[in-house]
Copies of this chain bind each other. A is one copy, B any other.
Amino acid sequence: MAMEYRQLTESTVAEYLAGVPELRGRLSSFTDLDVREVGDGNLNYVFIVTNRAAPDETLVVKQAVPFLRIVGESWPLSRRRMDFEIAALKTQSALVPEHVPEVFHASTDMSLVAMRNLRDHRILRGELIAGKRFPLLADHMSTFLARTLFHTSDFAMDPAEKKAAVAASVNTELCKITEDFVFTHPYDDSATNAYNAELPAEAIAGIQRDPELRAAVGEMKFAFMTAAEALVHGDLHTGSIMANSRETFVIDPEFAFYGPMGFDIGALVANFYLAYFAHAWRQPQLGHDPASYRWWLLETAGGLWEGFTAKFLALWRDHDAARGGESFVGRDIDGGKSAEAYRQRFMKTLLADTIGFAACKMMRRIVGIAKVADIATIPDLKARAIVETHALDMARRMVMNRTGFDTIADVAALARSISAPEAGIP
């Protein structure tokens, strides 16, 4: 039955939830709910709902409003983004239930989802800023990436079903945000950019006044806009992950669409490289020698890629084996050699894509409108500028030379070569 959309508030959430049959088993009573709006968000309203009489009965309600919340009603943004989030949560949950919050109720009419309250988990970005380690993170996130990207690709899906999925996942409005704010404005001296006042002009010029850099970014933008490889999360930074030492969950897939696989992997490793540069300053502030934590950050980025590669290839080989060796390149007439040669070429290309997309994500976080707290909250603007210069320097070399890295270890080596103790890190 269709329901008319209305924007919920702390005082109307309980009444709405009481009318949802699927939630009757989740909350034993709707008469004494504690409802708190905790919208961290730029886009949406998020309510934490707890039954005061039974505090273990708790859930989260996330509702999209038809404008960009951070700006207000003057910036319209279709509520349809919640349709994409609901659809992506459903697909991801089916593929990696252990890394996606359980959805109890979803309504496209209300642009709303009610899901598990991850109260024992925290946003990864804040944890990384605090210098915490997550030994299972690379394993968990490489599983998330391998399963979601493999199983929604042409390597696993029936071509007709995959094409139908692509058409159903056209996410125009949120892709436009990425096209503009990741791939265009940071490099064209847009008025929307925001710069640390201490960031040297030549560092900014390095990504705005070099035609070859902008052309390389253009190549990544074109891939983002045309390469319908798999259902990507579309915004997989460390603020879209909630974790504790045991568990890892991916949230907020409203940017999901069929795009290039490297965009998700690149987004995630980019955030580890940004944290790596930030912790040159943060670790001493926390009273530590930076080497150990920074080593862990690069190891985790490397482990993400290596774990992803191993798991993606294992899924792929198993999938083909189950079809009698028939693979993307056709029937097996050579003991699997062609299939494996193609898989290796694919992974090599995907590493280059990953590096290129990671670089764009890094540059936009320094120069574009949307910052990362890892760096933007460094109060010493001169120290922050050194961190930013290092990140920009690395990103430049990544995107310009993205096909020149044989392994993810080569990327880590680049990071180390830029921000080494002898280079005068603050």
Contacts and interface: CB of A to CB of B under 8 A. Distances in A.
Interface string A329-340: 111111001101
Given A211-B337, A219-B345, A342-B214, A329 B226 contact: no
A63 B335 CA distance: 45
Which of A227, A329, A345 is most buried by chain B, counting CB atoms within 10 A of its CB?
A329
B185 A159 contact: no
A405 to B, nearest CB: 17
A163 B172 contact: yes
A77 interface: no
A190 interface: yes
A196 to B, nearest CB: 20
A328 B221 contact: yes
Interface in A157-197: 159-160, 163-164, 166-167, 170, 172-173, 175-176, 179, 184-185, 187-190
Contacts of A20: none
As for how many copies of this chain the complex holds, the number is 2
A220 to B, nearest CB: 11
A328 to B, nearest CB: 6
Contacts of A185: 330
Interface residues of A, number: 52
Contacts of A170: 163-164, 166-167
Contacts of A328: 218, 221-222
A209 interface: yes
A211 B334 contact: yes
Nearest to A328: B218
B159 A218 contact: no
A167 B328 CA distance: 24
Most chain B beta-carbon neighbours within 10 Å: one of A179, A187, A215, A328: A215
A232 interface: no
A340 B222 contact: no
Nearest to A185: B330
Contact of A329 (B172, B184, B338): B184
A176 B190 contact: no
A217 interface: yes
Interface string A196-236: 00000000000011011011111101100111110000000
A188 B226 contact: no
A299 interface: no
A338 B214 contact: yes
Interface in A306-340: 328-334, 337-338, 340
A115 to B, nearest CB: 28
A341 interface: yes
B160 A176 contact: yes
A189 B190 CA distance: 55
A34 interface: no
Interface in A326-368: 328-334, 337-338, 340-342, 344-346, 349
30 contacts: A154-B222, A154-B225, A154-B226, A159-B225, A160-B172, A163-B170, A163-B175, A164-B170, A166-B167, A166-B170, A167-B170, A184-B329, A185-B330, A187-B338, A188-B331, A188-B332, A189-B331, A190-B330, A190-B331, A209-B333, A214-B329, A215-B338, A215-B342, A216-B345, A218-B338, A219-B342, A221-B328, A221-B329, A227-B227, A228-B228
Given A215-B345, A219-B345, A221-B328, 9 more contacts: A159-B225, A166-B167, A184-B330, A188-B331, A211-B337, A215-B338, A218-B338, A222-B346, A226-B228
